[in-house]
């Protein structure tokens, strides 16, 4: 099959590369010439494990190419994917669909209209219910209805594990009732039949809603365990054992039960907001989703207070080392990262920040230009009054803690991801604060 991917960001690039690796012929299009130049020069504009090698392999095999020219890219194409951004519209939380509609307009003008020509326009961007109807309306202004079908195919990949998620998904969701479009979609995803991946065929509106419902549910799970963590701290219980104790129940499951500083990233914050706005418009109360949004925002803000409290209530003049800036490990994505809420608050309270992240520092500098950065975690720790672990990169899990203690000006560790054990840290002489534990467990003598 011949595939055109419009938008070569996280989702477009990973999807395009993986479709090429399935054996399809893929052209990835982006309107950002710098991005396309980087890709054509063998570079990768984002950090995603395994992506660089997979791009090189498929470019070499002649199945994958990059261009800014949509017209050339669409020649002979069976399916055009829209994989452009749908950020929150400033101020009101609605999904900004201007990129989707602009892409639809551009595509509409290029859809072949010959007797038997048929192109599937696949919306992979996360879009509110009814967006497919509008894309269809835009197309129909330019092309006869018989020449195209608009399908919803939301993407569920996770940054940091994107290739594996695309190639071994729990399910693929396809929203269409058109048999010709269904046949094209089945052919595109045929390699997944080997793994017996369930493909959920449904109506377009239902498919659009499935994506938001999935993200809102996962955000709720995270927020639930975060609130349990607060309760654990107040009543002297252990949140990781609570998570294990409930997660072993198959009806609950153990995923997304890690207490932390609040969810961030390119999807959960904007998608929960957009879902809440959709419900508002439909006069339906989604009180759980609204509470999750409020609780998560408040939590990110409270994390700065937690750090200040752990350091005696005043951080003025203290040098605080922040480890991890990206919203999660294995990505350089800084969108809505908790670090973006925590760091400015510490700066406002007079702290001096020195930060380290294995991949996200270039991105972080765009948002936090006035803090110090180092290219080695031990350099960031050197002379600091506290270490705060904000993102759980693997390289932070096995620090030489004796060296850390020697380098620190004061032995304070605030671990917002629970990657260390309180008892061991206290035995090493650290003042250690984490999430969802009593300050010093009653049964711990150390
Ligand atoms: N990032 C994720 O982990 C993830 C996961 C699942 C779903 N999604 C959804 O996928 C969509 C894309 O997200 P993303 O993170 O890949 O976005 P992104 O911002 O990384 O990439 C979007 C790309 O589209 C390009 N673009 C915009 N308009 C264009 C046009 N008319 N023609 C060609 N290129 C155009 C931009 O230049 C940019 O490179 C969003 O709706 C998002 O919610 C994202």
The long-range contacts involving 268-271, CB below 8 angstroms and separated by at least 24 positions, are: 268/215, 268/218, 268/219, 268/222, 268/336, 269/88, 269/293, 269/296, 269/335, 269/336, 270/86, 270/87, 270/88, 270/93, 270/95, 270/336, 271/126, 271/211, 271/212, 271/215, 271/216, 271/219
Going from the Cα of 100 to the center of ligand 1, the distance in angstroms, rounded, reads 9
Residue pLDDT, tens place only, 46-102:
999 999 999 999 999 999 999 999 999 999 999 999 999 999 987 788 999 999 999
Q: Look at domain 217-433 and name its CATH class.
A: alpha beta
Give the start-to-end residue ranges of the domains of the chain: 2-200, 217-433
pLDDT band at 443 (very low <50, low <70, confident <90, very high): low
Going from the Cα of 85 to the center of ligand 1, the distance in angstroms, rounded, reads 4
Helices then strands (H, E): number in the chain?
A: 17, 14
Helix H or strand E encompassing 326: none
The reported pLDDT for the residue numbered 53 is 97
pLDDT band at 446 (very low <50, low <70, confident <90, very high): very low
What does the alpha-carbon distance between residue 49 and residue 401 come to, in Å, rounded to a whole number?
28
The token duo for 101 is 């509609």
pLDDT band at 116 (very low <50, low <70, confident <90, very high): confident
The reported pLDDT for the residue numbered 267 is 94
The token duo for 314 is 């005043």
Identify the CATH assignment for 2-200 out of 3.40.50.460, 3.60.40.10, 3.40.640.10, 3.40.50.720: 3.40.50.720
Given the residues 232, 267, 321, 376, select the one marked as catalytic.
267
Residue pLDDT, tens place only, 423-442:
999 999 999 999 999 877 65
Nearest ligand 1 atom to alpha carbon 13: 16
Nearest ligand 1 atom to alpha carbon 86: 41
**Best residue among 89, 266, 337 to mutate for probing ligand 1, ranked by most atoms within 8 Å of CB:** 266
Average pLDDT over residues 261-276: 96
The reported pLDDT for the residue numbered 115 is 79
| 328 pocket-lining for ligand 1 (C-beta < 6 Å) | no
What does the alpha-carbon distance between residue 333 and residue 327 come to, in Å, rounded to a whole number?
7
Residue pLDDT, tens place only, 395-419:
999 999 999 999 999 999 999 999 9
The reported pLDDT for the residue numbered 441 is 60
**Best residue among 84, 131, 263, 267 to mutate for probing ligand 1, ranked by most atoms within 8 Å of CB:** 84
Tell me the CA end-to-end span of the chain in Å, nearest whole number: 64
Average pLDDT across the chain, whole number: 96
Phi-psi region of 200 (alpha: psi -120 to 50; beta: other; left: phi over 0): beta
Residue pLDDT, tens place only, 316-342:
999 999 999 999 999 999 999 999 999
Find out whether 336 and 297 touch, Cβ atoms under 8 Å: no
| 6 pocket-lining for ligand 1 (C-beta < 6 Å) | yes
Residue pLDDT, tens place only, 202-222:
999 999 999 999 999 999 999
Ligand 1, atom 26: closest residue by C-alpha: 7
28 is catalytic: no
- Is it true that 2-200 and 217-433 share their CATH fold? yes
The reported pLDDT for the residue numbered 195 is 82
């Amino acid at each position: 099959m011949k595939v055109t991917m419009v938008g070569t960001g996280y989702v477009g690039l990973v999807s395009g590369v993986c479709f090429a690796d399935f054996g399809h012929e893929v052209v990835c299009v982006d309107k950002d010439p710098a991005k396309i130049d980087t890709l054509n020069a063998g570079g990768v504009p984002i950090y995603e494990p395994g992506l660089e090698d997979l791009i090189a392999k498929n470019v070499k095999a002649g199945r994958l190419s990059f261009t800014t020219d949509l017209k050339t890219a669409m020649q002979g194409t069976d399916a055009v994917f829209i994989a452009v951004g749908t950020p929150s519209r400033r101020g009101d939380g609605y999904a900004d669909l201007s990129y989707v509609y602009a892409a639809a307009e551009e595509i509409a003008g290029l859809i072949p209209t010959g007797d038997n020509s048929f192109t599937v326009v696949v919306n992979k961007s996360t879009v509110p219910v009814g967006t497919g109807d509008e894309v269809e309306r835009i197309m129909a202004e330019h092309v006869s209805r018989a020449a195209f079908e608009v399908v919803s195919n939301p993407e569920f990949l996770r940054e940091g594990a994107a290739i594996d998620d695309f190639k071994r998904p729990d399910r693929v969701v396809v929203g269409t009732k058109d048999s010709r479009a269904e046949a094209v979609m089945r052919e595109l995803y045929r390699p997944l039949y080997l793994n017996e991946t369930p493909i959920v065929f449904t109506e377009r509106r239902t498919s659009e809603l499935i994506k938001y419902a999935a993200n809102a549910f996962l955000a709720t799970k995270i927020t639930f365990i975060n609130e349990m963590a607060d309760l654990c701290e107040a009543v002297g219980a252990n949140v990781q054992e609570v998570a294990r104790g409930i997660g072993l129940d198959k009806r609950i499951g153990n995923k997304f039960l890690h207490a932390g500083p609040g969810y961030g990233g390119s999807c959960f914050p904007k998608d929960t907001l957009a879902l809440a706005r959709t419900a508002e418009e439909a006069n339906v109360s989604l009180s759980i989703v609204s509470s999750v949004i409020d609780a998560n925002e408040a939590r990110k803000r409270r994390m700065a207070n937690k750090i200040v409290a752990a350091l005696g209530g005043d951080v003025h003049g203290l040098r605080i080392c922040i480890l991890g800036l990206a919203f999660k490990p294995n990505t350089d994505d800084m969108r809505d990262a908790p670090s973006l809420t925590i760091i400015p608050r510490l700066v406002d309270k007079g702290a001096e920040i020195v930060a380290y992240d294995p991949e996200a520092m270039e991105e972080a500098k765009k948002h936090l230009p006035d803090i110090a950065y180092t290219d080695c975690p031990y350099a960031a720790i050197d002379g600091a009054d506290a270490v705060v672990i904000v993102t759980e990169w693997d390289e932070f899990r096995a620090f030489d803690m004796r060296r850390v203690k020697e380098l620190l000006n004061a032995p304070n560790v605030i671990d917002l991801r629970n990657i260390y054990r309180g008892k061991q840290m206290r035995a090493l002489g650290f003042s250690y604060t984490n999430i969802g534990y009593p300050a010093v467990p009653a049964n711990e003598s150390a």
